[in-house]
Amino acid sequence: MSLFDKMDVSGHEEVVFCHNQDAGLRAIVAIHDTSLGPALGGLRMWPYKSEAEALEDVLRLSRGMTYKAAVAGLNLGGGKAVVLGDPKTDKTEVLFRALGRFVQSLNGRYITAEDVGTDVNDMEIVFQETDYCVGVHQVHGGSGDPSPFTANGVLQAIRACLRRRFDDEDVGRYSYAVQGVGHVGLHLVRLLREADAKVLVSDVDEEAVRQALELGCERVGVDEIYDVAADVFSPTALGATLNAETIPRLRCSIVAGAANNQLADDASGDELERRGILYAPDYAANAGGLMNVSIELEGYNRERAIRMTRTIYYNVSRIFAIAERDGIPTWKAADRMAEERIAAVARLKVPFLGQKPVRFEGRHGNHHPG
C-alpha cells in the first residue's frame, strides 16, 4: 500500500519527513486531524528496524492522539513525531535543535512534547528552536513531569468503573493488581495506598518494586500478575498485554490502567466484554498527562490541571452510557464518542491552519529558525 493510500485509510492530513544529514536527523511528523485544533503529540525516539516500521508507528500513534484529545474534551487534534535512532546512544544537541526547526516550520499545526525515548532535557533543546513545544521545565512556564496527572486521571477512571460495576466509589474497599510501577504506576500505587487499598504489583525493575513495597504493596511475579485475584487489573506498563493468551487468565471485574494500546487487537476488547469484565478504554483513562500539558498553551496553572483530570471520571462514565445506548463494547463506544465530537465540530469550521498561540507571542523575541 502506498503512503497516500495509507493516509486515505487512516484519515491523515499531513505527513512530513524531516532530514538533516549534518545533524544525523531522520524523523517523521504525522498530523492526523486538526478539526478540533492544532495537533499535539509527543516526540518519540526509537531504534526502528526500518523506515517503514517508523512510518507505521507514527501513523498509528498520531491517530490515537486525535481520539484521546477528542474524548478528553480538548480543543486539540492528534499528531506525533518519531525520530529514528537509539535514545541511549544517538542523542545530540544539534539533532534536537534541527528537529525543533522543522516543528517551527509547521507554523503551529503540530505541537510537540516528550514521549518514549525523550525527556524534559531533550525538550529543553527543542524548545530553543520552536514556539510549539510543551512539557518543558517549570522555569519556562511549563508543567514538568506529567506522571502525577496521568495517575490521577487513571484514579478517576477507576472510580467511574467502581461506580458502574459496584455502585460504589470507595477506592479503599477494593483490591488492585498493578502491572508496572514506573513513573505513572508508582504515582497510581501511592494514590491507591493513600486510600488504604490492597495493592499487588509487578515490574521487571527491582528498584521500582522496592519503592512500591515501601508503600505497603505486595509483590507478585511479572507473569503471575495476570492470575491475581483482584477487583481491578491495572495495566500500566507496556501495550498489547491484553490478548488471547492473557485475558482468559484474568480474575478481575474491571480493567483500568495507564498503558497505551492495552488491547492487542479489537477482538481482545470484544473478549473482555464477553467475559463480563468492565474495560475503561486506555486513551480515555490515561489522558491526564495530555490535559496537563495542554494547559501550557494558555498559561500553566497546576490547580486547573488537577481539576481538569477529574473530568476523566465523567468522560469514562459517558463512554459506558454510549456502550449501553448502542449495545457495543466500551472500546468501540470510546471511538464513537471521539468520532461524534470531531464530526460535530468539523461542521462548524475548517481544519486548523496554523497560528501562533497568544502564550507564545514574543517568548523567544525575534528568532527566525533557519
**Whether 122 and 169 share a structural domain:** no
Domain identity same for 117 and 167: no
Q: Which pLDDT score, from 0 to 100, does residue 367 have?
A: 42
**pLDDT tens-place string over residues 287-341:** 999 999 999 988 899 999 999 999 999 999 999 999 999 999 999 999 999 999 9
Q: Say yes or no to pLDDT of 357 above 80.
A: no
Are both 239 and 99 inside the same structural domain?
no
Q: Are residues 154 and 261 in the same domain?
A: yes
> Number of structural domains, the chain?
2
Close Cβ partners of 119 (under 8 Å, ≥ 6 residues apart): none
- Is position 334 within any domain? no
Nearest to 305 by CA among 313, 315, 317, 295: 295
**Residues 80/116, Cβ–Cβ less than 8 Å:** no
Q: Is the pLDDT of residue 351 over 80?
A: no
Q: Are residues 27 and 157 in the same domain?
A: no
Residue 361 has pLDDT above 50, yes or no: no
Mean pLDDT is lowest, of 132-136, 152-156, 200-204, 269-273, for: 132-136
CATH number for the domain harbouring residue 8: 3.40.50.10860
Q: What is the mean pLDDT of residues 46-66?
A: 94
**Does residue 118 register a pLDDT over 80?**
yes
Residue 350 falls inside a structural domain: no
Check pLDDT > 90 for residue 257. yes
16-45 average pLDDT score: 96
Quick check: 90 pLDDT over 60?
yes
Distance of CA 320 to the CA centre of its chain: 20
Please say which residue of 109, 133, 157 terminates a domain.
133
CATH code where residue 218 lies: 3.40.50.720
- pLDDT (0 to 100) of residue 354: 67
Three-state SS letters, the chain: CCHHHHHHHHCCCEEEEEEECCCCEEEEEEEEECCCCCEEEEEEEECCCCHHHHHHHHHHHHHHHHHHHHHCCCCCEEEEEEEECCCCCCCCHHHHHHHHHHHHHCCCCEEEEECCCCCHHHHHHHHCCCCCECCCCHHHCCCCCCHHHHHHHHHHHHHHHHHHHHCCCCHHHCEEEEECCCHHHHHHHHHHHHCCCEEEEECCCHHHHHHHHHCCCEECCCCHHHHCECCEEEECCCCCCECCCCHHHCECCEECCCCCCCECCHHHHHHHHHCCCEECCHHHHCCHHHHHHHHHHCCCCHHHHHHHHCHHHHHHHHHHHHHHHHCCCHHHHHHHHHHHHHHHHHCCCCCCCCCCCHHHCCCCCCCCCC
Residue 15 in domain = yes
Is residue 106 domain-shared with residue 184, that is, in the same domain?
no
Is residue 80 among the annotated active site residues? yes
Contact 242, 263 (CB under 8 A): yes
What integer best gives the mean pLDDT of the chain?
92
Kindly state whether residues 281 and 310 are assigned to the same domain.
yes
Same domain, 258 and 290: yes
Categorize the per-residue pLDDT at 355 as very low, low, confident or very high, splitting at 50, 70 and 90.
Answer: low
Indicate if 275 and 179 belong to the same structural domain.
Answer: yes
For residue 360, is it within any domain? no
171 and 223 belong to one structural domain: yes
- Asked whether residue 308 is domain-assigned, the answer is yes
> Pick from 89, 107, 133: which residue ends a domain?
133
Residue 203 banded pLDDT, cuts 50, 70, 90: very high
In a domain, 343, yes or no: no
Same domain, yes or no: 153 and 112? no
Q: Is residue 355 part of a domain?
A: no
Q: How many CB atoms lie within 10 A of CB 325?
A: 10
Q: What is the mean pLDDT of residues 158-170?
A: 97
* Shared domain check, 279 and 237: yes
The model carries a pTM of: 0.86
* Residue 137 or residue 70, greater confidence: 70
68, 80, 91, 332: which is the annotated catalytic residue? 80
Q: Domain for residue 45, yes or no?
A: yes
Mean pLDDT of 56-77: 94
CA angle 149, 152, 153 (to 5 degrees): 85
Domain around 243: 147-328
